[in-house]
Amino acid sequence: MNICSFCGGDIKVIKDKPYHYDECGLDVTLCGVTQYECTECEETYVSLPNIQQLHRIIGAHICEKGKALLQPEEIRFLRKDLHMRAKQMARVLGTTPQALSRWENGRKPIGETHDRLFRAVYMMYASEPTAFMQWATQHNVTNISDGLGMLVGQAAESFNLWRGVRPSVAPVIQSIQASM
């Protein structure tokens, strides 16, 4: 049996109890994860061996549900999981950091167009290579592109149509690549 780092008491293993993963900032309950509880002070611990993979699964679930617009906590989770600062994400989405902040803190709902773009950005650029890129690598393709330039270029063109200003795509691409 292990010993509690807080009080020195014995630790018991719990395998059948659902775990409320509040640390991610969402209402997520995990089943089948190993948890530990001190028999003396009742301090609890959890074993999450691959948090990055867990976050990718949570993020994919958020993006695929698509029944309603992204909620503030989901927007914040997706952005942070991409390791992007608000300023970087706002640039990718063709909006301002202030607008993104309002979406994240619930002062204003995200619009349908930005919601779709946000989901697409997450699904495309969560750190694992896409299924197509993995297939291409397995088949010895030497020049593989993730489509980032095309996505940012399309966003810039949309911004130009909406606002009459065509942003430069190179700094955006460099910012995204630096944050991944």
Reported as a single tens digit per residue, the pLDDT across 78-112 is 999 988 899 999 988 999 999 999 999 999 999 99
Percent of the chain whose predicted confidence (pLDDT) is above 70: 92
Quote the pLDDT of residue 1: 57
Quote the pLDDT of residue 176: 73
Quote the pLDDT of residue 74: 97
pTM for the complete prediction? 0.69
Task: Give 56-73 pLDDT, tens digit per residue.
Answer: 899 989 998 877 999 999
Strand order in the sheet with 11-14: 11-14, 34-38, 44-47
How many CA atoms lie less than 13 Å away from 108 in the CB half-sphere?
10
Quote the pLDDT of residue 27: 94
Quote the pLDDT of residue 163: 87
Whether residue 85 contacts residue 179, with contact meaning beta carbons closer than 8 Å, is answered with yes
Q: Where are the alpha helices (DSSP H) in 23-128?
A: 51-65, 72-81, 86-93, 97-104, 112-125
| Residue 31: closest CA among 39, 21, 43, 23 | 21
d(CA 118, CA 18): 30
What Cα–Cα distance (Å) separates residue 151 from each residue in 59, 65, 80, 120?
19, 22, 20, 9
Size (the chain), residues: 180
Each domain of the chain, given as residue ranges in start order, spans 11-47, 51-179
* DSSP label at residue 88: H
Which residue stretches of the chain have pLDDT < 70? 1, 127-132, 145-146, 179-180
In degrees rounded to 5, what are phi and psi of residue 174?
A: -65, -40
List Cβ neighbours of 100 (8 Å cut-off, separation of 6 or more). 75, 79, 86, 89, 90, 93
